Amino acid sequence: MSPEVVGMIGVGAMLLLMMLRVPIGIALGSVSLAGIAYMLGSRPMLGAAREMTFAFVTNWELSAIPLFILMGAISFHTGLASSIYHAARLWLSRLPGGLAVATNFASAGFAAASGSSLATAAAMSKLAIPEMLRAGYHPGLASGVVAAAGTLGSLIPPSILLILYGMFAEQPVGKLLLAGILPGILTAVIYAVMIIARCKLNPALAPPSDETISMKEKVSALGSVWPLPLLIVSVIGAIYSGLATATEAAAIGCIAAMGIAGAMRRLSFRILYDSVIETLRSTAMIFFIALGATLFTRFLAITGMPEMISSLADFAGGNPWLLILIVGLIYIVLGMFLDPLGLLLLTLPIFLPLFEATGFSLIWFGIIVIKFIEIGLITPPLGLNAFVVKGSVGNTIELGTIFRGLTWFFVAELLVVALLCMFPIIVLFLPNLGG
């Protein structure tokens, strides 16, 4: 049996295991170890498992992941992130669809503290959807904006997905985090323009607010918002200025989050304990999956699959944009079924050699991959963000209504991807400026 056939059998076996609901980390690891043992023998397999596991967990850049998770957990449990929604609601509620617009931008702010799409969607579902429904907003718009804006957690720094992408693609994590800023802002702005336009054309989607809010109330609300921007600026500023690596910036973010929460008298031992436990659980899950993906990368390399996949560039007739389209469709389809982390780590060993062969900037490609993953998170029938929102609202809103509400956001995401493909400078401007 040729090595390439072994590789294809391994990929098929791994997909079968995931269809059978085997955890993705176990599916990746078990197939990889079995494949390496078949190709090289049991002793090399054990050696690879030992050496690669040690090399992975001692990678310095990966220490940014638990630090960023801890920063987000402290921000969430102390209320630093939720206060931004209150302020956005007061300032934007007079716009057509103002509460939805406020939810959109508040989700972007929350994403900058949590680094997780699913966490952003879950938190904003409880904060924003009940208020929009009370105001008479259409359930599809109310739930759709939360599910869609929650995807910004995959893109806006500190993105856990971008950190892992940087490690596997051997790209500077700091530059990747900077590269996600402008596309994240662009996505939030296009969402907001789309919401305002729809509600202007069809006021029944979001009845105009008759609430009278004084300037004093608006200014007062900003007083509770300053901690989150300060936290974000402390992290991004440290990376952008070159004063700190991504890992050092994550440590600065943790210290800043605890310092701000302590100064506001919101930090307690119980909150700190819950945040640490949450961080340990999330980090263990991420590392377990990533270890499986690392072994899977070695298995594919032994079988020669990367070289075979790179030859697929000829299938596109030398047209790199056709490759982007094909890869995008694959990501969107798989994104309906897999969580973002599993999808990223499953596909990178397969697609990275392909795009290295085409000469694309791997920093730009990383942002495009995250955008495709975002689209998969809101694509029916199994877009995970929609199910997160459904789990938060219970029987208040039907799942079909949520997916119908996501249709316009899906179109907006495609527009953003098209702009990023036509104007790569949107992605590369800050990384290049930062040196």
Q: What is the pTM of this model?
A: 0.79
The answer as to whether 257 is a domain residue is: yes
Boundaries of domain holding 321:
61-267+304-433
Helix/strand/coil for 282: helix
Residue 377 has pLDDT above 80, yes or no: no
The answer as to whether 177 is a domain residue is: yes
Residue that the structure tokens 């897999």 belong to: 338
What average pLDDT is seen over the chain? 81
- In SS3 terms, 374-397 reads as HHHHCCCCCCHHHHHHHHHHHHHC
Residue 131 has pLDDT above 60, yes or no: yes
Name the H helices within 202-268. Answer: 215-222, 227-240, 246-263
pLDDT digits (tens, 9 = 90+) for 34-79: 988 988 888 888 888 888 777 777 777 678 788 888 887 887 777 7
The answer as to whether 324 is a domain residue is: yes
The answer as to whether 191 is a domain residue is: yes
Check residue 198 and give its pLDDT: 92
The answer as to whether 24 is a domain residue is: no
Helix/strand/coil for 361: coil
Q: What is the DSSP secondary structure assignment for residue 62, as one 8-state letter?
A: G
Contact residues for 252 (Cβ-Cβ < 8 A; gap 6+): 234, 235, 238, 244
**Number of structural domains the chain divides into:** 1
Check residue 193 and give its pLDDT: 94
The answer as to whether 1 is a domain residue is: no
Name the percent of the chain lying above pLDDT 70: 90
Least confident of 117-126, 254-263, 332-341: 332-341
pLDDT digits (tens, 9 = 90+) for 5-17: 888 888 788 778 8
The answer as to whether 19 is a domain residue is: no
- In SS3 terms, 112-178 reads as HHHCCHHHHHHHHHHHHHHHHHHCCCCHHHHHHHHHHHHHHHHCCCCCHHHHHHHHHHCCCHHHHHH
Least confident of 78-82, 193-197, 322-326: 78-82
**Comparison of pLDDT for 336 and 91, the residue scoring more:** 91
CA 30 to CA 322: how far, in whole Å?
34
Check residue 336 and give its pLDDT: 66
The answer as to whether 285 is a domain residue is: no
